[in-house]
Amino acid sequence: MAVASECFQLAQGDRPLLHRAALTEEEVSIRFVGHSSYLLESAEGLQVATDWSGDFAGRLDRAPDVITMNHAHSTHWTPSPDPEIDHALKGWGEEGKPRRHFLRLGETLIRNVPTDIRGGYAGIEPFGNSIFIFEIGDLCVGHLGHIHHEPTEEQYALLGRLDVVMVPVDGTWTLGVEDILPMLKRLRAQVVLPMHAFGRHTLSRFLSGMGEDYAVEMLDGDTLTLSQERLPEVPTIFVPRSL
């Protein structure tokens, strides 16, 4: 596959984070919706919701243009997406084969790197999860989904450099912080957005486990506006108010 991707290139930012209502071409609005769902919006008005089960549809003004899903649990997917959603992207494969997405909509590129689901009564489900990558605005944004294992060397190569990563922080149903931390360092993520927390105790445990490697900022709301030049100078975890 010919890769037309910007995420394999290095990027740096040297200005403080800003919050703005109107988006420029380079900016992306990222809003925590609930559980493992974030809503990304481009300057073109394209809306993408991650790990979409439909449970939080009432919190949005309209149906997203694109949803991504993983099926480790029913809270991460829906068998009946709203018909107003143009693109419902399943993150799991079928018959042991990975599912691949490479969807370009305007200036936004959405692709995935399949990973396995491991554990429980079912054992290993090959390619049952996907890490989705959104090349939106001038950022490379990754959503780890229901991640169960550190990526392989081949998967790291396909992921490339990520500026922003959405990370499950429960530490039980998904990876523990001892595995998440080296993964984030490898991806060189400058912004970490927690999700899948199951309460403040679990979130606090995750934040403590990250040690001095990341600064922590508790947000006043649930939305960030980001671009390359507005990435924080030091790697930072931004905690949405309603997480």
For residue 187, the model assigns a pLDDT of 93
Band (pLDDT 50/70/90 cuts) for residue 58 is very high
Say if 182 falls within a structural domain. Answer: yes
**Tokens (6 digits) for 53:** 């089960």
Tally of domains within the chain = 1
Chain length of the chain: 243
Reported as type and span, the H/E element at residue 25 is none
Burial classification of residue 111, based on how many CB atoms lie within 10 Å of its CB (0-12 exposed, 13-18 middle, 19 or more buried)? buried
**Tokens (6 digits) for 59:** 């919190």
Say if 133 falls within a structural domain. Answer: yes
- Average pLDDT over the chain, rounded to whole? 90
Of the two residues 211 and 220, the one the predictor is more confident about is 220
Say if 58 falls within a structural domain. Answer: yes
**Tokens (6 digits) for 230:** 């507005």
| 155-200 pLDDT tens trace | 999 999 999 999 999 988 899 889 999 999 899 999 999 999 999 9
The CA distance from 43 to 24, in Å, is 6
| 88-115 pLDDT tens trace | 999 999 888 999 999 999 999 999 999 9
The CA distance from 77 to 80, in Å, is 9
| C-alpha triplet 190, 196, 199: angle, nearest 5° | 110
Band (pLDDT 50/70/90 cuts) for residue 21 is low
Percent of the chain beyond pLDDT 70? 90
Rg (alpha carbons) of the chain, rounded to whole number: 16
SS3 of residue 62 by DSSP? coil
Rounded to the nearest 5°, which phi and psi values hold at 37? Answer: -100, 125
pTM: 0.90
Say if 1 falls within a structural domain. Answer: no
Say if 166 falls within a structural domain. Answer: yes
Say if 22 falls within a structural domain. Answer: no
Say if 11 falls within a structural domain. Answer: no
Band (pLDDT 50/70/90 cuts) for residue 14 is very low
Which CATH number do you get for residue 64?
A: 3.60.15.10
SS3 of residue 104 by DSSP? strand
Place of tokens 């001892």: 178
Q: Can you give the residue range of the structural domain that contains 154?
A: 28-239
Say if 12 falls within a structural domain. Answer: no
Side-by-side strand order, sheet with 139-143: 102-105, 108-117, 125-136, 139-143, 164-168, 191-195, 236-239, 215-218
Confidence check: pLDDT of 86 > 60: yes
Rounded to the nearest 5°, which phi and psi values hold at 218? Answer: -85, 120
